[in-house]
Amino acid sequence: MRDAIKQAVWVMLTAVILTACKPDSPSQGQDTESTAGLFGAQVVTGEATPLTSSEYNQLSAEQQYAVSNRLMGTLYKGVPADEFFDLSQGLASPKIGGGGNFINRTSLQLTKELPDTGNYIQQINDNYDFNSTRYSQEMPLALMFDLPVSRDLFSHWMAYTLANTILFSPALEMDSADYFDVHRVYSKLVSRINSNMSIRDIIYQHMISQENWRRFRSPEDNTREMIEIYLGLFDKDDEVPKASQACQNWHLTGDDQDYQLVITLDENIVPQKVLGQWINTCFDFYRTVSNHPKVVARVVNVLVDQFFVDMDQAKRAALVQSIINSNPTRFEHIFTAILFSREYLLNSERPRRLEETFFNIAHRTKWHPYRRFFQDLNNPSGSASNPTLAQMKQPGMTLKLGRWAEQPLDSLSFSYYHKLTRERLLLDRRTNLTNDNDAGWEPGFIEKASDLDANDFIHYLFLSTVGRKANGQELTVLSDVITNRNYGDNRTGQTMIIFDYISRLPETYFNNSVN
């Protein structure tokens, strides 16, 4: 059974990657220096207006780096300081090296397919150890960690993000759901996004699936939830009996028959008026929901809440309307409108999820995962030595109604978040480069900064983690600690001291306004 899950996921993911349709090319004459119109979307105006090249270029080098890592951190990637700045110029007044025009270059990378994506799955299976039962939950994070910035990464990231919302959660926590449902929901989202399927069609296909019925198990519950989840209508109690009548021949078997969706032949023959439309069958009901005028607006609302949870309600409503006015028809249109907006890249403030913080810093510090890392991270039980997403109350693709828009920051949840970031990332250095199971940031990370003076080296470590230089007080205090411990010539020891301090900074776990 467990090996069957792993094999099924492996086959499906390989098929999804190898058969992915090519995304829309930028239209002829499109300004490739602009993020507008990505994936054939209409230009967004108003509150969600994209950050322009001129606005980005007017930022200081330090601000440009912070903005670039805001974007990359959201996508579970990171920009190393040595690749962005010209270290030969020092870091007292950072000068941009290879990081010029970063935002627009990244936006175009997200439309480009990788030529050899099929090899990545094989490499990941060779490089990491997975739990055969939980493979469908662990593999996506490993894949996103290893894939370069590309259309392939973007598709998997969008699918993972959607599967962690109320819109598409596989609801693994329920007794009627299992890891096959996680696999089906995630893989189908990747495949459908890659085939340029519309938002409405993806929702329709999901609603008629067994995975959806395993989350909402009766005609009454299912039809009510579809109206509430996809339309945001919570006052339609009078519609539910009529909708469930249309779905009278759909039911989920019990535990003894492994919760199978069964559609019998005794279809409803009495027309029912639901949501202003006459319907006969359950298929009619799902089409009515997916074609409803409120569907796209509801999806935009849910996704904006995920990325702007701390924004003022009136301003968030204006941002939602701005995206709706651009007439998005695919999920790419909504996600790119959010990610490349001036509001998100410059002004938004919110706590980061674990994947955003950990993966971003990992890529910036050249951190190497140990073989069981993704398995341990997704372990539903957890332990004191290996904190997990479940312990942080952020389990992947698990909660019936999806992850909360608010990052759980109660004392216990955050203690696990901090412990993992501090002990498994910042204070874990790799000493044996020939041992794949030896995790940590690699010597090459600090070797890149070997020619920097003492203060600039501290700036380098700050930029590589929190995206800013150390302030005057931090330089003074940390320099004194380094001196008192006789680490003046020991760059590794200096790094451990500074990273221990950085692990305690709130901004390590938080998106602050760049302006």
Hey, which residues does 252 pair with through a beta bridge? 261
Residues 6+ apart with CB under 8 A from 9: 135, 136, 139, 183, 187
Pick the more confident residue, 473 or 115. 473
**What is the DSSP-derived secondary structure letter of residue 27?**
P
Whether 91 is covered by a domain: the verdict is no
Q: What is the pLDDT of residues 213-244, one digit of tens each?
A: 999 999 999 999 999 999 999 999 999 999 99
Whether 298 is covered by a domain: the verdict is no
Q: Give the model's confidence band at 13: pLDDT under 50 very low, under 70 low, under 90 confident, else very high.
A: low
Q: How far apart are the first and last CA of the chain?
A: 53
Whether 49 is covered by a domain: the verdict is no
When mean pLDDT is compared across 39-43, 94-98, 133-137, 318-322, the lowest value belongs to 39-43
User: Is residue 358 domain-shared with residue 447, that is, in the same domain?
Assistant: yes
Whether 37 is covered by a domain: the verdict is no
Q: Which of 290, 319, 346 is the last residue of a domain?
A: 290
- 3-state secondary structure string across 261-291: EEECCCCCCCCEEECCEEECCHHHHHHHHHC
User: Is residue 126 domain-shared with residue 239, that is, in the same domain?
Assistant: yes
Whether 90 is covered by a domain: the verdict is no
User: Is residue 143 domain-shared with residue 271, that is, in the same domain?
Assistant: yes
3-state helix, strand, coil in the chain (%, to 5): 55, 5, 40
Calculate the CA 225 to chain-centre distance: 24
Q: What is the pLDDT of residues 366-400, one digit of tens each?
A: 999 999 999 999 999 888 889 999 999 999 999 99
| Separation of alpha carbons 138 and 182, rounded Å | 10
Tell me: pLDDT of 281 over 80: yes
| Separation of alpha carbons 446 and 305, rounded Å | 38
Q: Give φ, ψ of 278 to 5 degrees.
A: -85, 130
Q: Look at residue 226 in the predicted model and tell me its pLDDT.
A: 98
DSSP class per residue in 5-25: HHHHHHHHHHHHHHTPPPPPP
Q: Look at residue 8 in the predicted model and tell me its pLDDT.
A: 56
Q: For the chain, what is the domain count?
A: 2
DSSP class per residue in 296-353: HHHHHHHHHHHH-TTS-HHHHHHHHHHHHHT---SHHHHHHHHHTBHIIIII--EEPP
Q: What is the pLDDT of residues 286-315, one digit of tens each?
A: 999 999 999 999 999 999 999 999 999 999
| Separation of alpha carbons 36 and 44, rounded Å | 7
Tell me: pLDDT of 18 over 80: no
Q: Look at residue 116 in the predicted model and tell me its pLDDT.
A: 82
Q: Give the model's confidence band at 42: pLDDT under 50 very low, under 70 low, under 90 confident, else very high.
A: confident
| Separation of alpha carbons 280 and 505, rounded Å | 58
| Separation of alpha carbons 256 and 32, rounded Å | 57
* pLDDT-above-70 percentage for the chain: 93
Tell me: pLDDT of 5 over 80: no
User: Is residue 123 domain-shared with residue 266, that is, in the same domain?
Assistant: yes
CA-to-CA dists, residue 192 to 20, 21, 158, 185, angstroms: 9, 10, 11, 11
Q: Look at residue 26 in the predicted model and tell me its pLDDT.
A: 44
User: Is residue 255 domain-shared with residue 371, that is, in the same domain?
Assistant: no
Whether 11 is covered by a domain: the verdict is yes
**Model-level pTM greater than 0.85?**
yes
Whether 32 is covered by a domain: the verdict is no
Q: Look at residue 259 in the predicted model and tell me its pLDDT.
A: 97
| Separation of alpha carbons 425 and 423, rounded Å | 6
Structure-token match 């992850």, residue found: 403
Q: Tokens for 502?
A: 């950085």
- Domain carrying residue 14: 2-22+114-290
Q: Look at residue 385 in the predicted model and tell me its pLDDT.
A: 85
Q: What is the total residue count of the chain?
A: 515
User: Is residue 377 domain-shared with residue 241, that is, in the same domain?
Assistant: no
User: Is residue 132 domain-shared with residue 223, that is, in the same domain?
Assistant: yes
When the pLDDT of each residue in the chain is averaged and rounded to a whole number, the result is 93
* pLDDT-above-90 percentage for the chain: 88
User: Is residue 231 domain-shared with residue 380, that is, in the same domain?
Assistant: no
Q: Which of 290, 315, 337 is the last residue of a domain?
A: 290
User: Is residue 15 domain-shared with residue 151, that is, in the same domain?
Assistant: yes
Q: Look at residue 41 in the predicted model and tell me its pLDDT.
A: 82
Q: What is the pLDDT of residues 139-155, one digit of tens each?
A: 999 999 999 999 999 99
| Separation of alpha carbons 124 and 42, rounded Å | 37
User: Is residue 371 domain-shared with residue 274, that is, in the same domain?
Assistant: no
Q: Which of 239, 270, 290 is the last residue of a domain?
A: 290
User: Is residue 262 domain-shared with residue 159, that is, in the same domain?
Assistant: yes
Q: Look at residue 35 in the predicted model and tell me its pLDDT.
A: 66
Whether 313 is covered by a domain: the verdict is no
Q: What is the pLDDT of residues 326-364, one digit of tens each?
A: 999 999 999 999 999 999 999 999 999 999 999 999 999
Asked if residue 281 lies in contact with residue 269, where contact means CB atoms within 8 angstroms, the answer is: no
User: Is residue 265 domain-shared with residue 136, that is, in the same domain?
Assistant: yes
Q: Look at residue 12 in the predicted model and tell me its pLDDT.
A: 54
Q: Look at residue 32 in the predicted model and tell me its pLDDT.
A: 40
Mean pLDDT calculated for residue range 36-63: 91
Asked if residue 496 lies in contact with residue 481, where contact means CB atoms within 8 angstroms, the answer is: no
Helix axes 491-502, 472-484, angle to 10 degrees: 130
